Amino acid sequence: MLSKFGVFLFLVKLCSSINLNLNTSTSGYYNVNLNFFRWLQSAPTYFIVDGTRYNLSDKSLYSNASYGGNGVDEFGFYQSIRYRYYVGKTIIDCSINTYDTGNHIVFEQKFVTGVTNSRPQSCSGDLQCYQQTTGTFPSFYLKKGQVKNLGYLNFGGSMLGTSGVQTGQWDTTTANLTDGMGGGPIAIFDEMGNTVIISPLDNFMSSSFWHEDQPGGRINFGVMGGAKSIPANYRQRFILLASSSINQAFQDLGKALRKVSGASPKKEFYRQNDVTLKYLGYWTDNGNYNCTLDSWWYYKGFGDGVKEWTARPEVFPHGIQSVQQYTRWPMGAHNRYWSVDNVYAKQNGGKYNFVMSPIVAVPNDTSFWYDLMKNATSWGLKMYEQDWLNIETLFSNDLAEDLSLGERWLTEMGNAAEFNNITIQYCMSLPRHGLMSTKIPVVTQARASEDYHVQEDQWKIGVSSMFAYALGLAPSKDTFWTSTIQNGNPKYPKKQELWPALQTVVATLSMGPVGPGDMIGATNKDLLMRCCNMEGLILKPSRPATAMDLQIIKAAFPDFNGPDGQVWTSLSEIYGDKTTQFGILLAANMSKPYKLRAYQTEFPYQFYDSIVFPYNKPEAAMPFNGKYPLNLNGCTSDQFCLFYLSPIIIV
């Protein structure tokens, strides 16, 4: 029998560097403490029922009891506190689960009786409620807590949260977090790198967070604000993890998400065997061993959406199949959002179910995806690139209102691809799509940058690669040129690639595709072939190069003693031997020198006494340990610094 209790302290994790605990009360409030200091203070719970907001703060959201209990879930044995809330006959349970092992807390909303009219009556016109939540649990104030300074990293927007990614200080002045349908996980950290990260744990396509009453104010985690109703027994979970490192916090998040999905072993298999990730390719976006076709080859309809995903005869007079048969290249192919006049929808005389909105259409038919993928295998499709995911999602009211449509859409796409042995790249994906990919094994990669040549600094993928890798995805930096001047481009006639070597090394260290898009005759073969062997096999690291914690902390705290520029690290392992590792460090775009200490690199402890080799002068090897720091000097975009590290191995 569950017992009623008063103020309670849950101890979640105690290790050498991190202590996470939770203070709760019978009145429905809670605090998150890290290393015995309060980091996060809860804001009042609320839910919208029959179009009206009911709040814990004014007691219109009524609770007659809180209960303690225990149970077992994907993470093992947990202790729980549950608050039962009432609005008339509507019952909503909010639970907090803490675990004997692990460094995390799980918050759960369960709609026992279901909710009708779960968005406010004012939800009309610009549909601002789509960027809000139908209720909240957990919810936290934006304030410093009991530590001097807290910073944040907020993924949001397209390209896996790259377009709206933000860093700054977490306090009452914080404004304009990227929230709503475009929002993603939030990491909160101090100047030592201690980190708390909050993310949806399930129902990724129907969960959101909302930054309310900014600047400062509060952040509310809950069901997406456009949902018209919530069925009985529907549940939404969020996970809060703590770590002594920002990078490690994201890795721990990824492990937790993959544990819940159960897709991790298959996903690793598909990623390791994705031909577009293993071999040098040729990308035709804004071939050598595989070729990826961008959006210029198929028919477009209303709003420039895809009308028919078939090769236009003026582009391929004999079809893509003839090209594939001649070259024997495995093919990758781009697709975009579906136009409302597409030839496949029953509404337009086709044979498949689509959900129509004024601007885009959403496939809602398992057989559609199986037929589309099966037909594409006839012309050698090996990788399907689903682009414009943000437009498909943000311009479909149904995806913002229906709790199951988004997950069904992506799951059916993934199942059909897997059946036909096709992998998938997500492009222009929102964070919710990336989170959802943890449940779909064949989604092996995602764009982690803006389009090439649209932004001169689009190569800066160190932060977004951290998020992608946590999700089990290879981050893609898009195509690039290997030589500076390539005349004759009608779209960008004056563009030049100022840093072809940097573009090449970033693509190689990304673990994503290495696919130059040079004009015929303009490829710098000597430069490009540094990425791979003569068979085109990419010589990539064992994990993508990601921004060091120091770089992220410096972005949040300008006065922090960190590097002014991009400093990324990666590791390479001997195949089958995860204990033998070698380090890689890339520094570029730095405005001034920085002395890097071995312990700051986040490499395993064996690298605290190692030897560093400059890539362009390996004979100038130098010690790297507590006595001898690595001087990052002159590491610009044109003359980047690339080092290889080897721990000293005593035999």
Q: How confident is the model at residue 5 (pLDDT cuts 50, 70, 90)?
A: very low
Q: Is the dihedral of CA 214, 217, 223, 225 positive or negative?
A: negative
- Report how far apart, in Å, the C-alpha atoms of 456 and of each of 501, 508, 555 are: 14, 19, 19
Residues with Cβ within 8 Å of residue 161, at least 6 apart in sequence: 155, 178, 184, 430, 431, 434, 464, 467
Query: All domains of the chain, ordered by start, with CATH?
Result: 264-531 (3.20.20.70), 546-647 (2.60.40)
Report DSSP state, residue 280: -
Which of 283-287, 467-471, 537-541 has the least mean pLDDT? 283-287
Tens-place pLDDT, residues 310-327: 999 999 999 999 999 898
Instruction: Write a three-state SS string for 351-406.
Output: CECEEECCCEEEECCHHHHHHHHHHHHCCCEEEEEECCHHHHHHCCHHHHHCCCHH
Tens-place pLDDT, residues 230-264: 999 999 999 999 999 999 999 999 999 999 998 88
- Whole-model pTM? 0.95
Mean pLDDT, to the nearest integer, of 415-432? 99
* pLDDT value at residue 128: 81
Rounded distance between C-alpha atoms, residue 522 and residue 512, angstroms: 23
**Does 126 score more than 70 pLDDT?**
no
**Does 289 score more than 70 pLDDT?**
no
* pLDDT value at residue 16: 46
* pLDDT value at residue 335: 98
Which of 122-126, 173-177, 586-590 has the least mean pLDDT? 122-126
Q: How confident is the model at residue 451 (pLDDT cuts 50, 70, 90)?
A: very high
* pLDDT value at residue 327: 87
Evaluate whether 451 touches 483 at the Cβ level (below 8 Å): no
How many CA atoms lie less than 13 Å away from 421 in the CB half-sphere? 7
* pLDDT value at residue 7: 42
Reading the block at residue 351, the tokens are 């044979």
**pLDDT winner (highest mean) among 30-44, 276-290, 444-458:** 30-44
Mean pLDDT, to the nearest integer, of 137-160? 94
**Does 11 score more than 50 pLDDT?**
no
**Does 438 score more than 50 pLDDT?**
yes
Which of 287-291, 378-382, 623-627 has the least mean pLDDT? 287-291
Tens-place pLDDT, residues 506-547: 999 999 999 999 998 999 999 999 999 999 999 999 999 999
Helix (H, G, I), strand (E, B) or coil at 522: coil
Phi/psi of residue 486, each to 5°?
-140, 90
Q: What type of residue is 346? A: K
Evaluate whether 545 touches 465 at the Cβ level (below 8 Å): yes
C-alpha closest to that of 390 among 446, 356, 428: 428
Residues with Cβ within 8 Å of residue 368, at least 6 apart in sequence: 344, 352, 353, 412
Rounded distance between C-alpha atoms, residue 404 and residue 399, angstroms: 8
Q: What is the mean pLDDT of the chain?
A: 93
Mean pLDDT, to the nearest integer, of 473-490? 92
User: In this prediction, what percent of the chain has a pLDDT beyond 70?
Assistant: 96
